[in-house]
Amino acid sequence: MIKFENITKKFKDKKVLKDISFEINKGHLVAFIGASGCGKTTTLKMINRLIKPSSGKIFINGEDIEKKDVIALRRNMGYVIQQTGLFPHMTIKENIEIIPKVEKKNKDEITKRTMELMEMVGLNAKEFLNRYPTELSGGQQQRVGVARAFATDPEIILMDEPFSALDPITRVGLQEELIDLQSHLKKTIVFVTHDMDEAIKIADMICIMKDGEILQYDTPENILKNPVNEFVSEFVGKNRIWTSPEFIKAEDIMLDSPVSCLSNLTLNRCLEKMRSNKVDSLMVVESKTKKLLGIINAKKIQETLDRSKEVNEVMETNLISVEPNDSIIDILQLVEDNNVSTVPVLDKNKRLLGLITKSSLVTTLSQQFIDTEEGMLS
């Protein structure tokens, strides 16, 4: 929906944006993040033409925005900034209604819309409409800012670090409300922030910028798991993913080559195999399909007197398993609820892909705190 084509911006002699190109899909919330001076705010301000590119073109729905009337362009976009930018000499009502009023819309419609907007941002209309911005808290002001941005029901909303000046509690609250709003309205939102947690939490796509260039433009999950270079991984932080544990999946933390055996192996042989591989259980799989048939652990063998039996007679077949895409939270819950110590990872066809054990879980979890040379999540 929004397309940047070879955009460069020079301020005096400094190149603030270096030939960047990207596309934002309709209905996506894209977060632009980077250190101060990386060009993220400049990028945002080019969308509503507050800043003019030195070269390159920007398209919205296929139209070159330079060719459009700038006032109409801006009025069809929401614009929310840090410190709100509410007009201090106008009441909340006047602030929200200013553009519709200037467009000479019908009075009743305006009032109706205002009430809708106040409800949308969770502010009591009666209490707040006739107050002035200075009488409101930061969080309340920011809600009004959002309401004002939505007043003309725009398709695109631009948000420039809107929550940065708020205390953490309010910030989290507003982030969650934004996510909720977005799930209903599905607007195209361009969101500038310097808070990685915030970006991961709310964005559909994240664009990491440095010195005027885009380093990685990807889903939050990919950025967490597959940072494109050292800078990105440093920027993201090794342990960032732990704040969004839902992204940690079974396939990320499983042992990929669990020790397995065929179903006709004798218990004695199994025990030998366990010893030589230093494991205390074996996965029993079908030879061709690699389908998991059962699990045998050392304890069970030791309980059995006749070690010449085949493993398929003794193995545990009532299995708790997970799929590769299940998150670590689900796995931990599973382990907790069922008191198992080994959880195989199976695909849809019950093929064995990997194994998660209690000890491998401990190793994974301890990565947050202890520097291991080779982590599960590297």
Looking at the DSSP bridge assignments, the partners of residue 343 are: 356
Interatomic CA distance for residues 196 and 208, integer angstroms: 10
- Name the one range near other proteins by CB under 8 A: 53-61, 94-102, 176-184, 196-204: 94-102
Nearer to other proteins, 80 or 253 (CB): 80
Cα dihedral across residues 150, 152, 156, 157: positive or negative: negative
Nearer to other proteins, 99 or 314 (CB): 99
Interatomic CA distance for residues 199 and 224, integer angstroms: 11
Query: Tell me, what amino acid is at 356?
Result: I
Cα dihedral across residues 148, 151, 157, 158: positive or negative: negative
Among residues 19, 22, 50, 111, which is the contact residue for other proteins, using CB under 8 A? 50
The reply to whether 71 sits near other proteins by the rule CB under 8 A is: yes
- Name the one range near other proteins by CB under 8 A: 3-11, 32-40, 43-51, 192-200: 43-51
- Please enumerate in sequence order all residues whose Cβ is within 8 A of that of 84, keeping only pairs 6 or more positions apart, or say none: 133, 141, 142, 144, 145
Contact 92, 128 (CB under 8 A): yes
Q: DSSP assignment of 45-69, as one string? A: HHHTTSS--SEEEEEETTEEGGGS-
Among residues 39, 53, 133, 220, which is the contact residue for other proteins, using CB under 8 A? 133
Beta strands 188-193 and 29-34, pairing class:
parallel
Among residues 4, 32, 79, 191, which is the contact residue for other proteins, using CB under 8 A? 79
Total number of residues that touch other proteins (CB under 8 A): 31
Looking at the DSSP bridge assignments, the partners of residue 30 are: 190, 205
Question: Which residue in 64, 134, 29 sits closest to 92, CA to CA?
Answer: 134
Question: Which residue in 284, 290, 258 sits closest to 269, CA to CA?
Answer: 284
The reply to whether 11 sits near other proteins by the rule CB under 8 A is: no
Nearer to other proteins, 84 or 367 (CB): 84
The reply to whether 36 sits near other proteins by the rule CB under 8 A is: no
Among residues 3, 5, 19, 98, which is the contact residue for other proteins, using CB under 8 A? 98
Query: Tell me, what amino acid is at 105?
Result: K
Nearer to other proteins, 134 or 308 (CB): 134
The reply to whether 84 sits near other proteins by the rule CB under 8 A is: yes
The reply to whether 88 sits near other proteins by the rule CB under 8 A is: yes
The reply to whether 165 sits near other proteins by the rule CB under 8 A is: no
CB 135, min distance to other proteins, A: 7
The reply to whether 72 sits near other proteins by the rule CB under 8 A is: yes
The reply to whether 271 sits near other proteins by the rule CB under 8 A is: no
H or E stretch at 344: strand 342-346
Output phi, psi for 131, to 5 deg.
-90, 170
Contact 157, 149 (CB under 8 A): yes
- Name the one range near other proteins by CB under 8 A: 82-90, 164-172, 277-285, 295-303: 82-90
The reply to whether 92 sits near other proteins by the rule CB under 8 A is: no
Nearer to other proteins, 97 or 198 (CB): 97
CB 77, min distance to other proteins, A: 8
Nearer to other proteins, 32 or 235 (CB): 32
Which parts of this chain interact with other proteins (CB under 8 A)? 45, 48, 50, 71-77, 79, 81-90, 98-99, 102, 132-135, 148-149, 158
